[in-house]
Amino acid sequence: MFFVHLSKLKILMVASEAAPFAKAGGLGDVVSSLADSLAALGHDVRVLLPLYFLIPQDLKQGFHPLPGVISVHLGQEHWARLWEFVPANGPRYYFIEYDHFFFRDRLYDGPYGGFEDNPQRFAFLCRAAIDLPEFLQWIPDIYHVHDWMAALVPVYLETVARRGPLAHTGSVLTIHNLQHQGYAHQSIIDYAGLPWGLWQSDKLEACGGVNFLKGGIYFANKLTTVSPTYAEEIRTPAFGCGLEDIFRFRGGDLVGILNGIDENLWNPATDPTLPANYDRNNLEKKSLCKMNFCQQRFGDAKSDNRPLFVAISRLYAQKGLDVLADILPWVVETMSVRFAILGCGEWLLEEHLASIAHRSPDRIWFYRGYDETLAHQMTAAADFFVMPSRFEPCGLTQLYSMRYGTLPIVHATGGLKDSVVSRAHGVERATGFVFNDLTHQALYSAIGWACATYYDHPSEILTMRQNGMCRDFSWKQSSRRYLECYHWAMEKKMGFP
């Protein structure tokens, strides 16, 4: 099928996030940077997103309304407007306007947890994705859908849309985080306009309700996760979040592809948010970033040579920062180090971090919130980047760190294991420090290991920084693997084995 691999594909991505329009975490970064990289290879890539109220106004000014209204064939017909954004080069974006669902100042949750109508909101997005091609008179070869919010697309494709214009369109479902599966009351079947025959334990049914992701996993032609190790982990009860049996059942169609990063946005040589730009040949300029940051945040009058450890994260159990918070007072008492943490999420963890930072203002600085500029500046300023995740499907911040000459200290799980080469494997290749068990003691030892290397073997630290900065974290390899997957999915859809 060599000729197929040379052909240009029509790819429709469906997701609930894409940076810079709407982003809650790495999903948004991945959707837009993967779409960019596929478009750069010459494919016709289009992305469907909701028109959220929170999309920045300056970006919305570049959107254009498409003439007419699209009919979205849920249980009852809904009518909506579509907006288009066409960048000079790159993928085309479509935004579906339906204020009842998307005119809110948060993506998924309010002060009392997830929005109750999230299943209806994202069933609407999925059905709109199915109705879009006819409206545009543009039939995709492949739907690439992301996480539970887009997981009903393959369900529609293989059932109510099985015949007609999409009969030959394949589907790939990428799982970025299995912890969120989209669980709904069974009445969503009527709302979504799906046949009740799907409400079975080997299709959509789970615990008396409907599980969107489970349906997507059953019906997508191919499945991917965002790192090879996570693709293995989710076949086990410890990481499978109750779906491990289905992954074993669909194991032959499941592939792990490591995320890439947007190397233009995350480039220390050109990053406009930094006080000094640098590359691997002039790392002394990185020290200027550190000095500047420490002066601003710790109020140092002169430069300070203590190592700076940084964490930037959503503050949820997945990320393991509660373990870091538990040992932090002990770490700063016994080691000559500084910590800067940027994050928001669970209120109790935010409070805990705020209180320990308050007690050691010259050693620990905590910014409670979400701030992209600060994220870039901290990544550049840091010597070490701490990621004690309990599980991590891929993780992008360790990739950003390595690109910025900052050494990640990571728990050996998922994409962290796949992307960081531990100092334990020899300094020639090492890009960071990896520890195996997520315990207080192990994290404390890993921080101590990094700290001792910093003081006793500065030349090793320099080599490791340069190793990380030489690594290729672009989408070059991974986007080609996605293309392979699209072809497999299309072949499967056409009935090839």
d(CA 374, CA 362): 19
**Binding partner selected for residue 226 from ligand GLC, ligand ADP, none, CB under the kind-specific 5 to 8 Å limit:** ligand GLC
Q: DSSP class of residue 207?
A: T
390 binds ligand ADP (CB under 6 A): no
Tokens of 380: 């550049």
- Pick one of 166, 342, 380, 490: the residue that binds ligand ADP (CB under 6 A): 342
| Shortest spacing between CB 373 and ligand ADP, in angstroms | 9
Helix locations, 389-457, DSSP H: 397-403, 414-419, 440-456
| Shortest spacing between CB 464 and ligand ADP, in angstroms | 20
312 binds ligand ADP (CB under 6 A): yes
132 binds ligand GLC (CB under 6 A): no
Nearer to ligand GLC, 74 or 226 (CB): 226
388 binds ligand ADP (CB under 6 A): no
Sheet strands (E) in 243-378: 254-256, 308-315, 338-345, 364-368
**Binding partner selected for residue 375 from ligand GLC, ligand ADP, none, CB under the kind-specific 5 to 8 Å limit:** ligand ADP
145 binds ligand GLC (CB under 6 A): no
Contacts of 29 (CB under 8 A, 6+ apart): 19, 23, 261, 262, 396
Nearer to ligand GLC, 141 or 392 (CB): 392
d(CA 25, CA 268): 21
248 binds ligand ADP (CB under 6 A): no
| Shortest spacing between CB 320 and ligand GLC, in angstroms | 12
d(CA 142, CA 1): 17
313 binds ligand ADP (CB under 6 A): yes
- Pick one of 133, 140, 307, 393: the residue that binds ligand GLC (CB under 6 A): 393
d(CA 130, CA 446): 49
182 binds ligand GLC (CB under 6 A): no
**Binding partner selected for residue 256 from ligand ADP, ligand GLC, none, CB under the kind-specific 5 to 8 Å limit:** none
d(CA 268, CA 400): 10
Of 180, 79, 58, 67, the residue nearest 128 (C-alpha): 79
Nearer to ligand ADP, 133 or 395 (CB): 395
d(CA 323, CA 185): 35
343 binds ligand ADP (CB under 6 A): yes
The binding site for ligand GLC (CB under 6 A) comprises 25-27, 30, 176-177, 226, 259, 392-396, 415
